[in-house]
Amino acid sequence: MPAIDIHSPLRDAVSQMASRRVTPSGMTSREWEALQAEIRLRSMFSATVENERVLVEMKERLNAGISNQKTGGATMDRGRFVEEMRGIIQETGYKRPDGIRKSSVRNLRSRARLELIWNMNMAQGVGYAQWKAAMDPDMLYASPCYELVRIMPKREIRDWPLVWGDHGGQFYGKPGKDYPDAEGRMIAPKTDLIWRWISRFKTPWPPFDWGSGMGLRNVRRAEAIALGVIKEDEELIPQDLPFNHNASASLEGIPESRRQAIVRDLAGDVEIQDDRLVITAPARISHLPRIPAALASVTATAAATAAAWTAAEQQAIMAVVSKTVAFIRLKNQIEQAGGSLTVMETLTRALLQFLANPDEQAAIAEIRRGPFRDVQWTELDFREIRRAIAKQIGGAA
């Protein structure tokens, strides 16, 4: 019988769900315990502060909020977080940067900034829990798609339909009330890469940007089929991503002496790569268990299988492809043409579409649209990339 439970925080309920049954990746309960630690670590990725004490104090409070722990006899909530952090930041002698208003979100001590830090960190934990719950195979069958909708009004509204379309998102049906001038509703399968492309944090779960006010709502199977988002007999393959997937924060403006202190305070779970602080929690997927060696030659069979790859498998393959001469050459061409990281991610997606399409000419035509029309593709490019993928597939079996 269906029932409503109101006794556990969502994150705990989701982890209990996972511990009762084997997840698609075979994650054990021990790995779920490690995941809780990752959630706490992830909570730090919004401050971009210089002062180690502020960082540590913030981490403790966000940790208490995420794990629903009592400190000093009371639970940590947003109001308490803001009040206490304002006092701590003042004690450190923090000075508001010149030209920044007291109430500005760029002032670390402002209510707006601290509330944003709290909201974002709590939302990321909940977003991940929601996403994991949605990846149950039978839930994914019953509700295969998400719609991007506005869940909170904002004064400054980003043009999300433009963002959606720029990243290859499709529109379906009549536009919703939030964006009546859009081409339609912003809907995609839950496993579609679009959810990562539109996210500033490159994760497929909300929040998708700082204080965006956007969220997700389920689109159940019958409606998804009626709108043409999925086919009637289509079944999605659940994905599995660690919570700290793609987590990084900019260190721009932070002197070297402070950077090492930040790394030390985060207890070795992070490292500095270029100008960014990156979480180095080990990836959960280190192999491709489901693709046999027989698919080493890329044929229509492999193309069909490509559609079944999880996001983690796609990532692993792209890690190999990105080292090929062809890919590097294409990347340079795009960058010289003024392209950006976003374009590169779209290229990745396009290449995977190519692999999923048995009609090579149609796939090439598809890839050459949009931002890639000026890129000088050659047949050798595709051959080299195919070889790299085949090697990755064959080596994994």
**For binding to another protein (CB under 8 A), which residues are involved?**
1-11, 13-14, 16-17, 20, 68, 72-75, 78-80, 82-83, 86, 102-103, 111, 123, 126-127, 129-130, 133-134, 136, 138-139, 141-143, 151-153, 206, 215, 217-218, 220-222
Residue closer to another protein (CB basis): 178 or 381: 178
Q: In angstroms, rounded to a whole number, what is the distance separating the alpha carbons of residues 279 and 257?
A: 19
Q: How far is the CB of 3 from another protein (least distance, A)?
A: 4
Q: In angstroms, rounded to a whole number, what is the distance separating the alpha carbons of residues 177 and 184?
A: 10
Residue closer to another protein (CB basis): 153 or 338: 153
Residue closer to another protein (CB basis): 128 or 164: 128
Contact 32, 15 (CB under 8 A): yes
Q: How far is the CB of 46 from another protein (least distance, A)?
A: 17
Q: How far is the CB of 114 from another protein (least distance, A)?
A: 9
Q: How far is the CB of 68 from another protein (least distance, A)?
A: 5
Q: How far is the CB of 137 from another protein (least distance, A)?
A: 9
Q: How far is the CB of 391 from another protein (least distance, A)?
A: 39
Give the H/E segment covering residue 355: helix 341-356
Residue closer to another protein (CB basis): 78 or 329: 78
Contact 148, 186 (CB under 8 A): yes
The DSSP bridge partners found for residue 269 are none
Residue closer to another protein (CB basis): 133 or 261: 133
For residue 248, what is the DSSP state?
E
Torsion of CA 138, 142, 147, 151, to 10 degrees: -80
Closest CA to 163 of 199, 119, 125, 203: 199
255 phi-psi bin (left φ>0, alpha ψ -120 to 50, beta other)? beta
Q: Given the structure tokens 């396009």, which residue do they identify?
A: 350
Residue closer to another protein (CB basis): 68 or 301: 68
Q: How far is the CB of 366 from another protein (least distance, A)?
A: 32
73 phi-psi bin (left φ>0, alpha ψ -120 to 50, beta other)? left
Residue closer to another protein (CB basis): 138 or 256: 138
Q: In angstroms, rounded to a whole number, what is the distance separating the alpha carbons of residues 172 and 395?
A: 40
Q: How far is the CB of 40 from another protein (least distance, A)?
A: 15
C-beta pairs of 156-164 under 8 Å, 24+ apart in sequence: 157/213, 158/209, 158/212, 160/186, 160/198, 160/212, 160/214, 161/186, 163/198, 164/194, 164/198
Residue closer to another protein (CB basis): 239 or 324: 239
